[in-house]
Amino acid sequence: MPHTTVLPFKALLLDMDGTLVNSDAVVERCWREWALEHGLDPAEALKVVHGRQGYATMAVLLPERPMELNHADNKVMLAKETADTEGVVPIGGAPAFMAAVADLPHALVTSADEKLAQARMGAAALPMPATRVTAELVGASKPDPEGFLKGAAELGFDPADCIVFEDSGAGIEAGKAAGMRVLGVGPRAAEHAPTAVVADLTQVRVVTDADGSTSLHVTV
């Protein structure tokens, strides 16, 4: 029997890749190429790329490498990913979900920079939230909570009143570290113990009560 969990909220903080947009095809193409160029096993590299900014992924994969080289490579990687939108599609239920939250407090909090976020949300035909925290606006990559804390502050809500939507271990860890509840989305999320987990956004309903309070109804 399906079970519904009700999660009250005042604001939503939404990751992009793997949460609203399925960009796995592009990510795998670009990172496989990078891994091979640096003598790494692409399969092992792909285990750590999700959720982090590129320079942070490179630092995990090549811990002895000077960070300035990672930042330089990251600029090249972002340009490649921005130019390649083949196979970028919305996560199941994302269009209806974004329509449902259009008039509610929400922000995009992504490890992509502004150009990449615009390219992928556009390719998936999803509306871009007015409030967003992109890579160039934070000093630390997920799993650091800075991005989510900044998103909550921009919207004007306490962390405890926010729900994070995330698909990756790094993102879920960041949401928890920010003191927020986390809804895990997709196959990577369950192993990182989010507050609740769904296969995609078709299992999430946004409900506004007569008194104006809002909640997520998560049915699995």
On the 0-12 / 13-18 / 19+ scale of CB atoms within 10 A, 80 is: middle
Q: Are residues 68 and 95 in the same domain?
A: no
Q: Are residues 62 and 149 in the same domain?
A: no
Would you give the DSSP letter of residue 91? P
What is residue 47's predicted lDDT score, i.e. its pLDDT?
Answer: 86
CB 110 within 8 A of CB 146: no
Distance CA 105, CA 83 (A): 30
Q: Are residues 113 and 71 in the same domain?
A: no
| Residue 212 vs residues 10, 160, 165, 209: alpha-carbon distances, Å | 10, 18, 22, 5
Question: What six digits make up the tokens of 106?
Answer: 């929400």
Q: Are residues 69 and 32 in the same domain?
A: yes
Q: Are residues 53 and 93 in the same domain?
A: no
Q: Are residues 29 and 134 in the same domain?
A: no
Binned at pLDDT 50, 70 and 90, residue 48 comes out as confident
- β strands within the chain, DSSP E: 4-9, 11-14, 21-22, 89-90, 106-109, 131-133, 162-166, 181-185, 196-198, 204-208, 214-219
Query: Whose structure tokens read 């007015």?
Result: 130
Q: Are residues 8 and 109 in the same domain?
A: yes
Question: What six digits make up the tokens of 128?
Answer: 């871009």
Q: What are phi and psi of 58, to 5 degrees?
A: -60, -35
Mean pLDDT computed over every residue of the chain: 95
Mean pLDDT of 35-42: 94
> Which of 50, 65, 83 delimits the end of a domain?
83
> Which of 83, 102, 126 delimits the end of a domain?
83
Q: Are residues 136 and 50 in the same domain?
A: no
- The CATH number linked to 155 is 3.40.50.1000
On the 0-12 / 13-18 / 19+ scale of CB atoms within 10 A, 14 is: buried
Number of folded domains in the chain? Answer: 2
Q: Are residues 126 and 159 in the same domain?
A: yes
Model pTM score: 0.90
Active site residues: 15, 17
pLDDT, tens only, 78-122? 999 999 999 999 999 999 999 999 999 999 999 999 999 999 999
Q: Are residues 123 and 189 in the same domain?
A: yes
> Which of 51, 66, 83 delimits the end of a domain?
83
Residue 40 predicted with pLDDT over 90: yes
Domain interval for residue 173: 4-23+87-219
Q: Are residues 98 and 185 in the same domain?
A: yes
Q: Are residues 117 and 47 in the same domain?
A: no
Binned at pLDDT 50, 70 and 90, residue 13 comes out as very high
pLDDT, tens only, 123-161? 999 999 999 999 999 999 999 999 999 999 999 999 999
pLDDT, tens only, 186-203? 999 999 999 999 999 999
What is residue 1's predicted lDDT score, i.e. its pLDDT?
Answer: 81
Query: What is the helix (H) or strand (E) element at residue 60, kind and residue range?
Result: helix 54-61
Binned at pLDDT 50, 70 and 90, residue 34 comes out as very high
